[in-house]
């Protein structure tokens, strides 16, 4: 049975390398490419039964872990593996906490990436064998991650747009719903995050690495 993959990376050469690896798998591959976050989101909408999404952390349209949080909320059953040049163990740990199925460094060789994909297809969590994650986590950060997990997909969308500095009117336009509905979503988001204002929500996001001004991927 052919596997369906979504390869989301803004570098054509790296997408090409990943396609070559995926096409070498025994069962063959159907590959959907995405060069930015919006294309990745549409690819998932069009292929909700995809076997694996390989996601770069630093594509146009999103930064850091915000894209992961949104796609994970929208498509909880599709495995998502981060493929990045950023090997910061704290970023990797946060990605796993937010629902990533694994992490593949862009510095990995052909066979290593092939092995990683096969492990992910088998339902395993993949991390490089020499990677040691810091087991300690700040209690405030752990609390924030758990709070973000309680958000609905629409609330997650609203939260990422708050992080981009959009006003309620702009968010309503982008999502195609009323401004009154957005106000209700913002109130729910603030309540779930345990903050009193939009500014406090953005500050909390920056601690998780969702701040659009501090891109984490590569």
Q: Note the pLDDT of residue 64.
A: 65
The answer to whether residues 81 and 102 touch, using CB atoms and an 8 Å cutoff, is yes
The answer to whether residues 31 and 22 touch, using CB atoms and an 8 Å cutoff, is yes
81 forms bridges with which residues in the sheet? 54, 102
Q: Note the pLDDT of residue 181.
A: 96
Q: What angle do CA 146, 43, 95 make, to 5 degrees?
A: 25
User: In the chain, at which residue ranges do the beta strands (DSSP E only) sit?
Assistant: 3-8, 29-34, 52-55, 80-84, 102-105
Other beta carbons within 10 angstroms of residue 30's beta carbon come to 14
Sign for the CA dihedral angle at 83, 156, 169, 175 comes to: positive
Of 126, 88, 83, whose CA–CA distance to 209 is shortest? 88
Kindly list the distances between the CA atom of residue 47 and the CA atoms of 12, 31, 38, 52, 111, in Å, as whole numbers in the listed order.
Answer: 21, 11, 14, 10, 27
**pLDDT tens-digit profile of 87-117?**
888 788 888 988 899 999 999 999 999 999 9
Domains of the chain: 3-121 (3.40.50.2300), 139-208 (1.10.10.10)
**pLDDT tens over the chain, length 218 residues:** 789 999 999 999 999 999 999 999 988 899 999 998 889 989 999 999 999 999 998 887 765 677 888 888 888 899 999 998 888 887 888 889 888 999 999 999 999 999 999 999 999 999 988 887 766 667 777 788 888 889 888 998 898 888 878 899 999 998 999 999 999 999 999 999 999 999 999 888 777 654 443 333 34
Q: Note the pLDDT of residue 63.
A: 58
Q: Note the pLDDT of residue 106.
A: 92
Kindly list the distances between the CA atom of residue 129 and the CA atoms of 88, 116, 132, in Å, as whole numbers in the listed order.
Answer: 15, 10, 8
Of 133, 121, 130, whose CA–CA distance to 3 is shortest? 121
The answer to whether residues 103 and 82 touch, using CB atoms and an 8 Å cutoff, is yes
Q: Say how far apart CA 21 and CA 121 lie, in whole Å.
A: 14
Q: Note the pLDDT of residue 124.
A: 94
Q: Note the pLDDT of residue 145.
A: 82
Q: Note the pLDDT of residue 126.
A: 95
């Amino acid at each position: 049975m052919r596997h369906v993959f979504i390869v989301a990376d803004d570098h054509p050469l790296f997408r090409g390398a990943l396609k070559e690896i995926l096409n070498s798998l025994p069962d063959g591959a159907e590959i959907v490419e995405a060069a930015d976050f919006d294309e990745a989101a549409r690819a998932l909408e069009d292929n909700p039964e995809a076997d694996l999404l390989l996601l770069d952390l630093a594509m146009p349209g999103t930064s850091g872990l915000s894209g992961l949080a949104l796609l994970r909320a929208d498509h909880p059953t599709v495995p998502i593996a981060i493929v990045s040049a950023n090997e910061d163990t704290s970023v990797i740990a946060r990605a796993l906490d937010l629902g990533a199925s694994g992490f593949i460094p862009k510095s990995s060789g052909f066979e290593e990436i092939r092995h990683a994909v096969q492990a992910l297809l088998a339902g395993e969590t993949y991390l490089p064998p020499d990677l040691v994650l810091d087991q300690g986590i700040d209690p405030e950060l752990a609390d924030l991650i758990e709070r973000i997990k309680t958000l609905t997909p629409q609330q997650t969308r609203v939260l990422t747009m708050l992080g981009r500095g959009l006003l309620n009117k702009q968010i309503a336009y982008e999502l195609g719903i009323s401004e009154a509905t957005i106000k209700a979503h913002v109130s729910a988001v603030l309540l779930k995050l345990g903050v009193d204002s939009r500014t406090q929500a953005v500050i909390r996001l920056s601690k998780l690495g969702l701040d659009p001004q501090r891109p984490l991927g590569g």
